[in-house]
């Protein structure tokens, strides 16, 4: 059932639920429907701040945040306040994290995932179904033969390898799952239900206050509360919940809360001269979209403690270049064939950086919540590793007669400062095995709390280069199963 609080107030302005989820983006919708279907005996309440259409100016204003020194030019477009959340305009680029993304990088300050790749992988089929991804082969080596003419003949044991992205249609969760939500008897979805307050008694959250911008507040009491309001808003609410208390404890009192903010970004370092017809970009292979990308091999990442950066290529005319029409001469160590120039775009794996963080300011929004300040400080290692990757690939091409590489933009702090984000909000409520290392535990429960959970990419403790939504959906399915089972066990 869907109730719009702007149209209809709740009886007694109150609801009782087994689980109350705040935020109906992909994280919240997947969690709510999975949970409602797994536990027909439960009542789930899903509170969404927006309606079914675009947010009004006043609603958008709630997201307004201050910025630190580094610009974030996607600030105004990176979130959607409506049913379905930011999938109203996401691009659908999808890929599970790679094996190394789950592993600790000994050169970094904080541990990586406290759960294994296999553990997340168990929920990937469901995540693929939720995101309506029908071509599900992410292991490029299994489909390589069908597109080999568009890929580089790389050394098998070399430092460079390939992976594949796949694509959601892209699923607009708000419209695609509207009927499912509306028809699910044991699920109540409240629209224009902005979470404004969580009441705490000791280690338990007792109730949540939600309200439309102009309207009466309603109180939701529940056994469990899940924050699924996107990486930034979820962290903002936890910081508001901490209030003026010191950041010297666990969970909401952990100094990790709000730190390690990351987004995917990357340098456009230059051009490659390489065999014609390469397709390291999105294209349609027999009607199925695929995007091969170049990366370091897992061995190389582990051995050299590198970041997991990926690279796409787009052909350019090469007109005006000093190497225009160059290549293919065997005497200059080129393999036979025509050579094209390609513009390089990399997506770095951001190193979790404690200095990159979101804080609260003293200004309050219309809901009375303190606003955010985003002080995004990408780690200098990000670009260093990306350039190392580029040079390693370029060196491979040069040595093996597959091409040459050009650096048109140097690895400078200025270049790094200009790069903008991809609207992926990672790391600020990181998952960890121990309270000393993060904000939520392996069940996504906030350390020190008995019933407060987070469903968001903000729990990622290591980020890779893959777009996050597929993994967000997998974690929501996992959380649903956990909550469903946990309640049974308690009973």
Partner 1 sequence: MINRRQFVIGGAAAGGAAAITYTLVPGDSADTVPAPAPEATALRIDTGISPAMDEFLLSLEHTDTLGRAWLAGDGSGIGLAQLASTVAQRIDGSAADIAAATATRIQQDFAQGTLCDIEGWQLSLTECQLAALRVLAIEANPANRAVLAANEATPEAAANSPDGYTVGTIAPLQNWGPKKTAKGLAFNVQSDGHCGLWFQIAGAPAHAKIMIDGEIARTTIKGKVVTSGLFGKQKDHILSTPGTYEIALIDPIRKVKQPIGEFLVEESPAGQLPGGESIQLSDCTVGKWGPQKTQVGVALNEQPDGAMGVWVYISCLPHGARLRIGEDDLPITRTKFGFTTAIPKPLLEAPQNMPLHLVTPGDGQELAIGNLLIEEPE
Ligand X SMILES: Cc1cc2nc3c(=O)[nH]c(=O)nc-3n(C[C@H](O)[C@H](O)[C@H](O)COP(=O)(O)OP(=O)(O)OC[C@H]3O[C@@H](n4cnc5c(N)ncnc54)[C@H](O)[C@@H]3O)c2cc1C
Q: How far apart are CA 1 and CA 464, in angstroms?
A: 38
For residue 169, the Cα-to-chain-centroid distance in whole angstroms is 18
**Number of other CB atoms surrounding residue 57 within 10 Å:** 7
The residue at minimum Cβ distance from ligand X is: 25
Nearest-5° Cα angle at 348, 339 to 425? 140
User: Shortest CA distance to 177 belongs to which of 78, 83, 43?
Assistant: 83
Q: H or E stretch including 379?
A: none
Task: Please report whether residue 170 would count as binding partner 1 according to CB under 8 A.
Answer: yes
Task: Please report whether residue 336 would count as binding partner 1 according to CB under 8 A.
Answer: no
Q: Would you say the C-alpha torsion 290, 291, 294, 296 has a positive or negative sign? A: negative
Task: Please report whether residue 315 would count as binding partner 1 according to CB under 8 A.
Answer: yes
Which of 43, 281, 370, 373 lies at the binding interface for partner 1 (CB under 8 A)? 281
Residue 264 near residue 351, CB atoms below 8 Å: no
Give 218's strand partners. 210
Binding to ligand X in span 414-453, by CB under 6 A:
423-424
Give min distance, CB of 256 to ligand X, in A.
19
Residue 206 contact among partner 1, ligand X, none, beta carbon within 5 to 8 Å by kind: none
Give min distance, CB of 328 to partner 1, in A.
6
Q: Which is nearer to partner 1, 141 or 333 (CB)?
A: 333
Q: How far apart are CA 236 and CA 246, in angstroms?
A: 16
Binding mask 73-102 for ligand X (x = CB under 6 A): ----xxx-xx--xxx-xxxxxx--------
User: Shortest CA distance to 184 belongs to which of 32, 51, 28?
Assistant: 32
User: Shortest CA distance to 85 belongs to which of 196, 229, 225?
Assistant: 229
Task: Please report whether residue 270 would count as binding partner 1 according to CB under 8 A.
Answer: yes
- Residue range at the interface with partner 1 (CB under 8 A); choices 35-43, 125-133, 195-203, 413-421: 413-421
**C-alpha dist (Å) from residue 423 to 78, 87, 232, 426:** 5, 11, 11, 9
Residue 425 near residue 358, CB atoms below 8 Å: no
Q: How far apart are CA 388 and CA 346, in angstroms?
A: 12
DSSP 8-state symbol, 251: G
Q: Which is nearer to ligand X, 271 or 456 (CB)?
A: 456
Which of 134, 183, 338, 412 lies at the binding interface for partner 1 (CB under 8 A)? 338
Q: Which is nearer to partner 1, 324 or 380 (CB)?
A: 324
Give min distance, CB of 84 to ligand X, in A.
6
Residue 374 contact among partner 1, ligand X, none, beta carbon within 5 to 8 Å by kind: none
Q: Residue 445 contacts by C-beta under 8 Å, 6 or more apart in sequence?
A: 451, 452, 453
Give the SS3 label for residue 9.
Answer: coil
Q: How far apart are CA 198 and CA 449, in angstroms?
A: 13
Give min distance, CB of 164 to partner 1, in A.
15
Q: Which is nearer to partner 1, 114 or 327 (CB)?
A: 327
Q: Which is nearer to partner 1, 149 or 316 (CB)?
A: 316
Which of 15, 47, 49, 88 lies at the binding interface for partner 1 (CB under 8 A)? 88
Q: How far apart are CA 222 and CA 242, in angstroms?
A: 20
Please report, in angstroms and rounded to a whole number, the separation of the first and last CA atoms in the chain: 26
Residue 195 contact among ligand X, partner 1, none, beta carbon within 5 to 8 Å by kind: ligand X
Give min distance, CB of 123 to partner 1, in A.
24
**Rg (the chain; Cα; Å):** 23
Give min distance, CB of 14 to ligand X, in A.
17
In the β-sheet with 66-67, what is the strand arrangement from edge to edge?
Answer: 66-67, 370-375, 357-364
Task: Please report whether residue 77 would count as binding partner 1 according to CB under 8 A.
Answer: yes
Residue 336 near residue 29, CB atoms below 8 Å: no
Which of 2, 10, 19, 26 lies at the binding interface for ligand X (CB under 6 A)? 26
Residue 73 contact among ligand X, partner 1, none, beta carbon within 5 to 8 Å by kind: partner 1
Q: By rule CB under 6 A, what count of residues binds ligand X?
A: 39
Binding mask 142-171 for ligand X (x = CB under 6 A): ------------------------------
Residue 5 contact among ligand X, partner 1, none, beta carbon within 5 to 8 Å by kind: none
Residue 226 sits at φ, ψ, to 5 deg, of -125, 130
Residue 160 near residue 393, CB atoms below 8 Å: yes
Binding mask 341-380 for ligand X (x = CB under 6 A): ----------------------------------------
Binding site for ligand X (CB under 6 A): 22-28, 47-50, 77-79, 81-82, 85-87, 89-94, 194-195, 228-230, 233, 423-424, 456-457, 467-469, 472
Binding site for partner 1 (CB under 8 A): 54, 57, 71, 73-74, 76-78, 80, 88-93, 170, 268, 270, 273, 279, 281-284, 289, 312, 314-317, 319-333, 338-339, 345, 391, 394-395, 398-399, 401, 404-408, 418-420, 422-423
């Amino acid at each position: 059932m869907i109730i719009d609080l702007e149209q209809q107030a709740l009886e007694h302005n109150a609801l009782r639920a087994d689980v109350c989820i705040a935020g109906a983006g992909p994280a919240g919708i997947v969690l709510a429907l999975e949970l409602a279907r797994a536990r027909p005996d439960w009542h789930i309440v899903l509170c969404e701040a927006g309606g079914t259409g675009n947010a009004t100016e006043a609603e958008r204003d709630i997201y307004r945040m201050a910025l630190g020194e580094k610009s974030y030019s996607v600030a105004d477009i990176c979130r959607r306040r409506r049913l379905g959340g930011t999938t109203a305009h996401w691009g659908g680029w999808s890929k599970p994290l790679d094996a190394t993304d789950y592993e600790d990088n000994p050169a970094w300050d904080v541990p990586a995932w406290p759960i294994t790749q296999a553990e997340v992988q168990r929920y990937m089929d469901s995540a693929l179904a939720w995101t309506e991804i029908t071509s599900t082969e992410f292991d490029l080596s299994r489909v390589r033969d069908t597109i080999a003419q568009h890929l580089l003949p790389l050394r098998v044991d070399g430092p460079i390898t390939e992976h594949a992205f796949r694509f959601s249609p892209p699923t607009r969760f708000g419209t695609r799952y509207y009927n499912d939500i509306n028809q699910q008897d044991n699920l109540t979805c409240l629209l224009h239900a902005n979470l404004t307050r969580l009441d705490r008694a000791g280690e338990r959250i007792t109730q949540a206050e939600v309200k439309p911008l102009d309207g009466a507040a309603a109180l939701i009491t529940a056994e469990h509360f899940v924050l699924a309001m996107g990486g930034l808003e979820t962290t903002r609410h936890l910081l508001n919940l901490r209030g003026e208390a010191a950041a010297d404890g666990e969970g909401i009192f952990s100094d990790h809360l709000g730190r390690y903010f990351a987004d995917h970004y990357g340098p456009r370092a230059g051009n490659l001269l390489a065999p014609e017809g390469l397709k390291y970009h999105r294209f349609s292979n027999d009607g199925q979209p695929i995007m091969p990308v170049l990366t370091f091999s897992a061995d190389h990442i582990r051995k050299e403690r590198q970041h997991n950066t990926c690279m796409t290529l787009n052909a350019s005319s090469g007109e005006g270049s000093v190497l225009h029409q160059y290549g293919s001469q065997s005497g200059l160590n080129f393999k036979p064939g025509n050579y094209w120039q390609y513009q390089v775009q990399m997506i770095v794996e951001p190193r979790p950086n404690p200095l990159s963080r979101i804080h609260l300011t003293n200004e309050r929004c219309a809901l009375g919540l303190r606003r955010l300040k985003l002080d995004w400080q990408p780690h200098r290692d990000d670009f260093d590793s990306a350039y190392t990757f580029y040079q390693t690939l370029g060196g491979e091409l040069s040595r093996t007669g597959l091409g040459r590489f050009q650096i048109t933009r140097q690895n400078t702090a200025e270049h790094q400062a200009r790069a903008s984000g991809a609207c992926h909000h990672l790391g600020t409520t990181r998952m960890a095995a121990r309270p000393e290392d993060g904000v939520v535990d392996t069940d996504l429960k906030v350390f020190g709390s008995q019933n407060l959970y987070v469903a968001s990419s903000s729990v990622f403790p290591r980020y890779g280069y893959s777009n996050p939504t597929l993994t967000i959906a997998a974690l929501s399915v996992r959380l649903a199963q956990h909550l469903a089972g946990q309640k049974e066990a308690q009973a």
